[in-house]
Structure 1
Amino acid sequence: MTPQPFTVADVMTKKVVAVLPGADFKEIVTTMQRWKVTAVPVIAGEGRVLGVVSEADLLLKEELHDHRLGLVEQLRRLDATAKAGSRRAEDLMTSPAVTVTPGASLPRAARLMATHRVKRLPVVDASGTIQGIVSRSDLLKVFLRPDDELAAEVRREVVERLFPLSGQRVDVRVDGGVVVLSGQVRDGALIPVAERLARAVEGVVDVRCDLTAAEDEA
């Protein structure tokens, strides 16, 4: 009965800016600046994702340009020093890439970004072929859903299903993504369920539940 959740496929950007493994440093920087992105997937073959080059990977060259590391620090930062001395995408990239599938839920994508401290994820199919890219801002798109669309979904997926007999006495209002449920229902035990399900609708910011049980059912 839970409303159908949005997936990564619903919000991802399908037009992907990517580079080949042999792309040189300047080409990568130029690509990022031209398309205003902070990271690019590195792809091979027919779109298989090998890794991701981010601004952080590229900035290592600048960071270590005038800073000569001691032996201990070199050993501690082997990966960083190797990248700082590299010029090609295949050597600069972080691999394997942290990816997500089109059918993954938005909370799963958000957790992956938070866990791995990345701002975007390549979206790949079962074979590892790129299908799109999802960013932090993409995950917030659901909160741009119109209030009337949210109200219609809450009524259809929550009120009408939970309260088929008394649903017509329930008022559903949405303002700025905040859902307000009011009115009387026959089964008071389902009021907490209604609040939980309304809160689960993608794009809902908050829920205020003023439902009460009809006196003959209280």
Structure 2
Amino acid sequence: MLNYKAIEIFTNEDARYQGKPVADAVIDSLRNLKIAARCIVTRGIAGCYENGEVATGRVEVLSFNLPIRISIVLPAAETERVLAELDPLVGDGIIALHDLTVVSHKAASTFFPRQLTVRDVMTVNPARVTAESLASEAARLLLSSIFTGLPVVDARDRPVGVVTQGDLIAKGGLPLRLGLLAESEQDEKEAVMATLARKRVREIMTAPAMTIPENRLLTDAVDAMMTKQLKRLPVVDKEGRLVGILSRLDIFRTVMREAPDWDAFRAQKIEVNNLRTVKDILRRDTRTVSPDTTIDQVIQTVDGNDMQCVAVVDDRGTLIGTIADSDLLHAFKPDPEGVRALFARLSRPSGKDLAYRLAGTTARAVMRTDVSAVRETMAIGEAIRLMTEQRLKRLPVVDETGRFQGMISRDSLLRTGFSQPGPRT
């Protein structure tokens, strides 16, 4: 048996808190607490009040101000906290409390509330370009942004396409990813921009743009992003004008904001169904290198890995560091010729052999050792929280002994974490 309490509020339709119906204010307050509480609001068909007023649905003239009953069931340990939140909300009504013996409490986990719309989550007024903008303008905007794609709009501000980092690389002449370009010297940047300025956005953009209305449910947007393998969606109003952009980062921030602490629920002996862990979405095909692997071999491994990152493990498979392409750049930054050569190798892996410059350096010298790694048993929601707060695109995963198991990425979180799981037996 579980020790629970039941809170009941007896109020009426006219009762307000800061202009909002009391029932709505109570629901919002409980949601924000993120505790294991359930709330039911019912409206009576008739009733009377202390002031002698009578309400009944049988007589039209007396059908106003019908009684409202708000019932809340919650673990007893949360009672004082909830009552302190509710008391200021109820200016007209009665708050009652009584013991409740609960046989079991089961909850189904979700990543975000299903009532959320795209408008609730999107980034408003995003940067944009026109089809006649120079490709270099798009690149400069993206360099100063956390996103890797921009909507392209017409004269009426309606999306006609999207220009992405991939478009700039494949069709615009960008020789390396924007993250690496941001780390380069100013003369390197300007040389790249001069190349990009030779083309207009219309020559390289992906068209037409797939958009989503701002009033659509967030779940519909996630389904579209997974089905079409999109990292972002331009958001439009009812006239088709651009009003926002929805990215994976926007979705993960929503998960972090809305999801309760499922581990705390389980600690209260609440059975949480469909709770997924990192192990469920782990990519085990991530390549590894040893600390003695030469940098030319590391570069080849990074080039052949869509995560742009490799794990460094010892002879027992224990994770001791990671190397991303940005770590390689930092290692060779003191040598301008080395940086240019590294750019060439990272952007054109089939280019001339640079082993004579790179074979003398090993992974041990450039690897990052201050690595955020997580256990396989971590809930996906917690992994999202960590990646969002630290702006990580990938996260190494280890077992209980510290041995490397694989990595999770933003893509794997979206694709696997948000799919609807089947019932567990």
TM-score range, shorter chain: 0.5 to 0.7
Q: Partner of 1:107: helix, strand, or coil?
A: helix
Q: Which of these residues, 232, 243, 251, is aligned with residue 139 of structure 1? A: 251
Alignment of 1:90-105 (within 5 A): 90-105=202-217
Structure 1 residue 176, shift from structure 2 partner: 4.9
- Residue type matched to 1:113 in 2? M
Instruction: State the AA in 1 paired with 2:247.
Output: S
Residues 1:58 and 2:168 aligned together: yes
Task: Give how far 1:62 is off.
Answer: 6.7
Change (3 A) 1:182 1:44: same
Q: CA separation in 1, counterparts of 2:268 and 2:213?
A: 35
Matched, 1:111 2:209: no
1:54 deviates by 0.8
Aligned counterparts, 1:1-218, within 5 A: 5-61=115-171, 87-145=199-257, 175-176=262-263, 178=265
**TM-score of the superposition, structure 1-length normalised?**
0.55
Count matched residues: 147
**Structure 2: segments with no counterpart, 5+ residues:** 1-39, 41-112, 176-195, 275-379, 382-425
Please tell me whether the aligned partners of residues 114 and 218 of structure 2 are also in contact (alpha carbons under 8 angstroms). no
Which AA in structure 1 matches 2:199? R
Q: Kindly report structure 1 stretches of 4+ aligned residues shifted beyond 3 Å.
A: 61-65, 174-183
Q: Give the superposition deviation at 1:30.
A: 1.2
Mapped contact 1:100–1:109 kept (Cα < 8 A): yes
Amino acid at match of 2:153: I
The structure-2 alpha-carbon separation of the partners of 1:61 and 1:37, relative to structure 1 and needing over 3 Å to count, comes to same
Residues 178 and 20 (structure 1), Cα distance of their counterparts in 2 relative to 1, 3 Å cut: farther
Q: Scaled by the length of structure 2, what TM-score is found?
A: 0.30
Per-residue deviation at 1:96? 1.2
Query: Does the aligned pair in 2 maintain the 1:143–1:177 contact within 8 Å?
Result: no
- Distance in 1, matches of 2:130 and 2:172, equals 22
Q: Which structure is larger by alpha-carbon Rg, 1 or 2? A: 2
SS at match of 1:17: coil
In 2, are the aligned partners of 1:18 and 1:41 still within 8 Å (CA)?
Answer: yes
- The CA deviation at 1:179 is 6.9
Indicate the SS of the match to 1:131. strand
Cα offsets for 1:166-201 (capped at 9, x unmatched): xxxxxxxx5457578879xxxxxxxxxxx89xxxxx
Structure 2: which amino acid aligns with 1:126?
Answer: K
Q: CA RMSD, aligned part only? A: 3.7
- CA 1:19/1:146 → structure 2, altered by over 3 Å: closer, same or farther? closer
Higher helix share: 1
Indicate how the Cα distance of structure 1 residues 40 and 178 shifts in structure 2: closer, same or farther if over 3 A, else same: farther
Return 5+ residue gaps in structure 1 as ranges.
Answer: 66-83, 151-173, 184-194, 197-203, 206-218
**Helix, strand or coil: the match of 2:213?**
coil
In 2 relative to 1, CA 138–179 (structure 1 residues): closer, same or farther, beyond 3 Å? Answer: farther
